[in-house]
Structure 1
Amino acid sequence: MPIRLVKSLALLTTGALAGAFGYGAANLVPTFDAVPLEMRLSFHARLMEMNGITMQGAMALSALSAAALAVMTRGTTRWLAGGAGLLVLASFLITRLGNVPINGRIKEWAVTSAPVDHAEILDRWELFNLFRTGTAFAAFVLLILLVLRRPGAEHEANRPA
């Protein structure tokens, strides 16, 4: 029974993470590009303040639940869960090392002015956003495959391998 709960939590949290990143990539980023720069900077800075807690929480729950599932299982299930956890970790690292520093600059620009090379920096933010969205979706796909596997295909004992 605990494995089913952890499996469900991993699938739920990773699906929510992929959905949130997917929504941003499909809807927010094109909207950012369609409005005046000042509006984008102001909205982007405020949005990232709100996302700071929720998205990091979603990434933490996704990574921890996938890691717990990998520890609790063995064989292919362990590999799928571990892979999903690593992909979520990649989303986190891309966010912390790529997007977050640029978010800090955007926050400054919102109250001052954007530098001459702002378009290149915003393009880099969008590239990081695509990468983290891709890794989150890949993690979700691995967990879907894990859940859809034929029951009994591999014994999932609640014991160490």
Structure 2
Amino acid sequence: MEWLPIVAVVVTGLMVGVELSVAFVINPITDALPEDARVLARSHGARMLGRLMPFWYIGSTLLVAAAALVVPGAATLAWTAVGLLLASVVLSVTLLVPIADRSKTWTPETAPDDHREQSTRWDRLHLVRLALIVAAFVLVTVAVAQ
């Protein structure tokens, strides 16, 4: 089972990388586009990542929990990472997903008047989620390195 903690770190690290990219690369690029293109890009991103990320978040959480079971010397760090990942899932489901679900259907013609405000709120909440998963990644990495 020596491979399990490594897989947990890699899968969680890749998820963190994608979410960092969303926050600091993809969304700033889309926000610089003309308004119609921005709405379409955000809508497409919500659809595409909305299909993938639930599995990635739950999978990462389960892998880190499994790693906590096989790395007993650092279980406290790993279980704290699990708690942070669970908090990110709760934050996602309760606050981010409702915004993303609405934005999936937006077109330049159907986007609500407050679509920019909703996108900005999603971006701010995403930064909170990002802080949680980065901290979880650091903790699980330290745990398995001990």
For the criterion TM > 0.5, the same-fold answer is yes
Distance in 1 (alpha carbons) for counterparts of 2:3 and 2:145: 15
Superposed, which structure 2 residues align to 1:35-114 within 5 Å? 35-75=33-73, 77-110=74-107, 112-114=109-111
Match of 1:26 among 24, 40, 44: 24
Distance in 1 (alpha carbons) for counterparts of 2:106 and 2:144: 45
**Cα 1:122–1:23 shift into 2, 3 Å:** same
CA drift of 1:111 comes to: 5.8
TM-score by length of 1: 0.81
CA drift of 1:119 comes to: 2.5
Structure 1 vs Structure 2: percent identity of aligned residues? 32
User: What residue is the counterpart of 1:146 in the other structure?
Assistant: 143
User: What residue is the counterpart of 2:13 in the other structure?
Assistant: 15
Is the radius of gyration larger for structure 1 or structure 2?
1
TM-score by length of 2: 0.88
Q: Which runs of 4+ in 1 moved over 4 A?
A: none
Give the unaligned 5+ runs of structure 2: none
Distance in 2 (alpha carbons) for counterparts of 1:10 and 1:122: 31
CA drift of 1:58 comes to: 1.6
CA drift of 1:36 comes to: 2.0
